[in-house]
Amino acid sequence: MIKLEPEILQAVEKPARYTGHELNAVHKDWDEVDCHFALAMADTYEVGMSNLGLKILYEVLNNRQDTACERVYAPWTDMEAIMRERSIPLFSLESFTEIKKFDFLGFTLQYEMIYSNILNMLDLAGIPIWTKDRSDVDPFIVGGGPTVYNTEPIADFFDFFILGEGEEVISEVAKTFVKWKREGKPGGRKGFLKEVAKLEGIYVPSFYNVKYNEKGYFSSIEPKEPEARAKIYKRVIKDLDSVHFVEKPVMPYIGIVHDRIMLELFRGCTRGCRFCQAGTSYRPIRERSREYLRELARKLVDSSGYNEMSLTSLSSADYSCLGELVDDLFADFEGEKVSFSLPSLRIDSFSIDLAHKMQQVRKSGLTFAPEAGTQRLRDVINKGVTEENLMTAVEAAFKQGWKQVKLYFMMGLPTETDEDIVGIARLAEKVARKYKEVKGKWGVTVTISVSCFVPKPHTPFQWFGQLPKDEFERRQRLLKDSITERAVKFHYHDARVSVLEGAISRGDRRISQVIYQAWKDGAKFDGWTDLFKEDVWHEAFRKCGIDMKEYSERTRDFDEPLPWEHTTPGVSKDFLKREWNKAVAEQLTEDCRRGKCSGCGVCPSLKVDIVDWKRKEGEVKANV
């Protein structure tokens, strides 16, 4: 058991990050269970504690009698320095046990820029960084989460990955482990990996041979063990009402990033935006029932004491019974001073009316995502939104009293021209002028937040070469100079980070060396702008003899094998190609939840179906 002296805790920022004992944390007797699972996020306590996936898996694992699940997050740099100086190993927040003593260490892979932190945590735990160097005394290192659809850049650091939704499979993993352990651990470490590889959705990277061609490009990946599948499909929950959701969230003593109840309405979004990886990787739409959500909301308010609830999903306003659900919740919590919010709004007046109802008097600000500045480019990305839609929505918002609007855009999308960039400024200015028209005076703030487009695996833009950093920066300046209205404020992302993300997210196994080198040379918390060390990363690519631009800027051929195709969310390559061609032709594809099936391949390959309560009531029968 690790005990931190007061002088350590007095010396670090936010010491309660490291002291545990939160309400609803689960403490089990170490010797009473067979499986010890540490769930980790390679980011700070405040970020890690806000992750919904980890909250769910924590309860699923702890609901098993044979398993104890504990939490661990990345220590901040001040704490890390002390831990290294005094040889204090990384520890869990429940029993303060050394992480190395656990059977599993599972990382949620939220975004590429935390990879260096994963290595850092392994090192702090005293666990060998490379899979091949681990022995029977080390935990199995497991990864799962959004970036799992191209794990090749970190494949050599992990024993196995879990693809897709974890509620069922994580329990199967624990069960498989307990059985293997009780049988006397036949075959040692590899013996277990062979067993776990038999489960659907499990990828054991060390069970494959990777080949590259004479140009140095990835050419093939093939199983070398009989248990390894040639292609691994993600796991998907067919009926979200049938699996466990968070009921007793661990309650932090200090403020965290999302310090409120998160009620997940549904999974998936089939609006079909062509840049969006979440849009392809969480298919199909599966809604929770209104009754179950109501029941969950009650349990969560009672067990947490929170007075704020966020109705979360990829596009919450698309929940088919949202109006009715909000009425239910208002009725159920009348007099309890609970407030509700929607994290994302659709660009229409239904959303505005709903937001108005939910926020009542407090008008904090509205956020919309037109994503591109011209209709042409919005058609390219299949963002089915017109300028008229946006103007109608903001007009409704201004009439209801909102004075702050935030608009999200991307730059560097395929086919983008300077006209599209200037279009962002023009659109924002029109929104600002709409306020003057509605209110007869100035007084609005329109904030445009512009990120740099990063092409992602398993999207129709997966072949597209990302813009060079300098070009992103030129377009940022162009946009800045194009804004003439004072009411428009401009924020943009750091292009240095985006191009690195671009290289890693479509990387192959050789990128592991670069990540290792960068970490060795001091890269960590790369997602934190003030800690990002651009030169360390560039130097790491150079030292490894790898051209970063080959990964970020090179446009791939359609028939070129891609290093991520064996780990798939189920969308077919044909569908992605069709969508690319339609993008270039500026043609739209409709949402399949009510409209025509776009033939993405997810439903048949995963044997799953859309769950849409309005559709079930017989309004629409989509083709299958």
Binding residues for other proteins, rule: CB under 8 A, are 5-7, 9-10, 15-16, 19-23, 251, 253-255, 301-307, 336-337, 360-362
Is 345:368 a contact under the CB 8 Å cutoff? Answer: yes
Residue closer to other proteins, measured from CB, 363 or 615: 363
User: Shortest gap between Cβ of 354 and other proteins (angstroms)?
Assistant: 19
Residue closer to other proteins, measured from CB, 6 or 440: 6
User: Shortest gap between Cβ of 308 and other proteins (angstroms)?
Assistant: 11
Determine the residue type at 502: G
User: Shortest gap between Cβ of 344 and other proteins (angstroms)?
Assistant: 23
User: Shortest gap between Cβ of 7 and other proteins (angstroms)?
Assistant: 3
Residue closer to other proteins, measured from CB, 254 or 326: 254
User: Shortest gap between Cβ of 18 and other proteins (angstroms)?
Assistant: 8
Residue closer to other proteins, measured from CB, 80 or 379: 80
Classify the C-alpha dihedral 343-348-350-353 as positive or negative.
positive
The CA-based dihedral angle spanning residues 213, 216, 221, 225, taken in that order and rounded to the nearest 10 degrees:
90
**Structure-block tokens of residue 245:** 């959701």
On the question of a cis peptide bond just before residue 569, with omega within 30 degrees of 0, the verdict is: no
Cβ within 8 Å of residue 575, ≥6 positions away: 598, 599, 600, 601
**Structure-block tokens of residue 434:** 């709409």
Residue closer to other proteins, measured from CB, 296 or 606: 296
User: Shortest gap between Cβ of 92 and other proteins (angstroms)?
Assistant: 16
Q: Which three-class secondary structure state does DSSP give residue 70? A: strand
**Structure-block tokens of residue 183:** 């049988």
User: Shortest gap between Cβ of 16 and other proteins (angstroms)?
Assistant: 5
CA distance 199 to 232: 10
CA distance 184 to 358: 56
Residue closer to other proteins, measured from CB, 204 or 397: 397
CA distance 82 to 521: 19
Residue closer to other proteins, measured from CB, 213 or 307: 307
**Structure-block tokens of residue 92:** 């869990």
User: Shortest gap between Cβ of 25 and other proteins (angstroms)?
Assistant: 8
CA distance 236 to 577: 24
211, containing H or E segment: strand 208-212
By residue count, the chain amounts to 624
Residue closer to other proteins, measured from CB, 24 or 206: 24
